[in-house]
Amino acid sequence: EMSEMSERSKQNVAHGLAWSYYVGYLKIVLPRLKKSMEEFSRGNPNLLACRKTWKLHILVPLSCDVYDDLEKADSNIQYMTDLTETTLARAGIKKRVYKHSLYAIRDEDNQLWHCAVEYATPLQSLYAMSQDECAAFSREERLEQTKLFYRTLEEILKGSKECAGAYRLIAYEEPETAEPHFLSREIMWHLRQEHQEEIAVLEGSDPHTPSTALDSAELNLQISESDLPQPLRSDGF
């Protein structure tokens, strides 16, 4: 009965995508990310001076509007290079390659900030499903699914010891009127917060975090806990 309820409400879609993204990708790459950042930093000490930014910044646009080329999304975001690749055998694929791209983000003062950033790729699946008649996703249902995906992924990652400190989720709602540098400003807000966090740690004070970014409270879907699909065990992978 619970399975049928989840099927009718499509709650299992976002929940499954979040778990698949974590188990099949993030749990593999995030524990190795700091080492890749450290290797790059040794050869480029001025580019990644703030260790708090040694994370994978994961973009979660609520519209599911994912660009394959970040430079086309915002001209203030420029590709620099790729970090060290991770090569593994996965599901019969020999030497499967996992890698992250490092970008330079230009702020309003024309200064460059550097970080690894990419979209949450399952959002492409949600968008494609909303365009496919077989999936029968309305625009409103897609938005609901995106919010549920974010909330589920956030909870999974919070409980993951392997991924602790190696990621930052950036959920955002794009403005109704086009703003050419909206995305770079959104990323910059998070980079500045990370810099403040590092300074606070060095000074021994508590970082002040303004409540201007979207968080799970603002992404509340008014879904009761009993209606949500039950989480899979994460300790057996």
CATH of the domain at 130: 3.40.50.12100
d(CA 93, CA 96): 6
Into how many domains does the chain fold?
1
Residue 12 in any domain: the answer is: yes
pLDDT score, position 206: 57
Domain that holds residue 129: 7-204
How far is the CA of 116 from the CAs of 35, 127, 135, in angstroms?
Answer: 13, 24, 33
Per the domain annotation, does 149 fall within a domain? yes
State residue 223's pLDDT score.
41
Does residue 45 belong to any structural domain of this protein? yes
Asked whether residue 229 is assigned to any structural domain, the reply reads no
Residue type at position 88: L
E strand or H helix at 56: strand 56-61
> According to the model, what pLDDT value does residue 9 have?
52
The β-bridge partners of 167 are 56
Q: What is the pLDDT along the chain (237 residues), one digit of tens a residue?
A: 444 544 455 557 899 999 999 999 999 999 999 999 999 999 988 888 899 999 999 999 999 999 999 999 999 999 999 998 888 888 899 988 999 999 999 999 999 999 999 999 999 999 988 887 776 678 888 899 999 999 999 999 999 999 999 999 999 999 988 899 999 999 999 999 999 998 877 776 655 444 445 655 566 544 434 444 444 333 333
Tell me, yes or no, whether 210 lies in a domain: no
Q: Where are the alpha helices (DSSP H) in the chain?
A: 2-9, 11-21, 27-43, 70-73, 122-131, 139-158, 182-203
pLDDT of residue 205: 60
Kind and range of the H or E run holding 23: none
Position 221 in a domain: no
CA 51 – CA 198 distance, rounded (Å): 8
Measure Cα distances from 121 to 5, 86, 118, 133, 201 in Å: 27, 18, 8, 21, 33
Q: Is residue 62 part of a domain?
A: yes
